[in-house]
């Protein structure tokens, strides 16, 4: 997947953020749909076990997949940032295993953006689950 540039990705995620807030907290549309479908499109976290039928908080698959795409784009950015294109061109001209260079670069490159986004994503997921449980929403 290639979205063009950072501005497009940021705008997409920002719009999806407000879309999600409106349809989850502003209306009951998402919650009604998610509770009515018995398919693997949601993660359920138990609120309590006291009743015969336990109640659950729901986290939609879109809340996991869309940021996951952003995380993968950050990994790609780290990889592209570490490529030496002149060296790669020389390897391609000589037909001297350019794929080995690409694989070695992918394995050994600094993954600073990827790691920072992963930590932020983990903290956001924890925060989301805590808020769902504390405010009894979802």
Sign of torsion over alpha carbons 73, 78, 83, 85: positive
- Is 40 a domain residue? yes
Is 28 among the residues known to form the active site? no
- Is 77 a domain residue? yes
- Is 124 a domain residue? yes
- Report pTM: 0.68
- What gap in Å lies between CA 91 and CA 116, rounded to an integer? 32
Catalytic residue among 28, 38, 63, 78: 63
Give the chain as a DSSP string: ---SSHHHHHHHHHHHHHHHHIIIII-SHHHHHHHH--SSSEEEEEEES-SSS-EEEEEETHHHHHHHHHHHHHHHHHHHHH--HHHHHHHHHHT--HHHHHHHHHHHS--HHHHHHHHHHHHHHHHHHHHHHHTT--
How far out from the chain centre does Cα 96 lie? 36
Residue 66: per-residue pLDDT = 79
Residue 114: per-residue pLDDT = 93
Residue 45: per-residue pLDDT = 73
- Is 19 a domain residue? yes
- Is 22 a domain residue? yes
Is 20 among the residues known to form the active site? yes
- Is 1 a domain residue? no
Which domain range does residue 37 map to? Answer: 6-134
Residue 110: per-residue pLDDT = 93
- Is 112 a domain residue? yes
Residues 77/117, Cβ–Cβ less than 8 Å: no
Residue 29: per-residue pLDDT = 78
CA proximity to 87, closest of 97, 76, 75:
97
Side-chain half-sphere exposure of 89, counting CA atoms within 13 A: 3
- Is 85 a domain residue? yes
What total number of domains does the chain contain? 1
In tens digits, the chain (138 residues) has pLDDT values of 667 777 887 888 888 888 887 877 778 777 777 777 777 777 777 777 676 777 777 777 777 787 888 888 888 889 989 988 888 888 888 887 888 888 988 999 999 999 999 999 889 888 877 877 787 665
């Amino acid at each position: 997947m290639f979205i063009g540039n950072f501005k497009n990705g940021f705008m997409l995620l920002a719009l999806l953020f407000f879309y999600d807030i409106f349809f989850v907290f502003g209306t009951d549309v998402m919650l009604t749909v998610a509770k009515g479908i018995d398919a693997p499109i949601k993660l359920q976290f138990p609120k309590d076990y006291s009743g015969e039928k336990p109640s659950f908080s729901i986290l939609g698959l879109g809340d996991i997949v869309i940021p996951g795409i952003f995380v993968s784009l950050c990994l790609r950015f780290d990889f592209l940032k570490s490529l030496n294109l002149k060296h790669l061109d020389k390897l391609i001209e000589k037909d001297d295993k350019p794929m080995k260079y690409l694989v070695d670069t992918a394995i050994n490159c600094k993954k600073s953006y990827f790691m920072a986004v992963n930590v932020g994503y983990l903290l956001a997921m924890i925060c989301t689950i805590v808020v769902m449980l504390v405010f009894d929403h979802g």
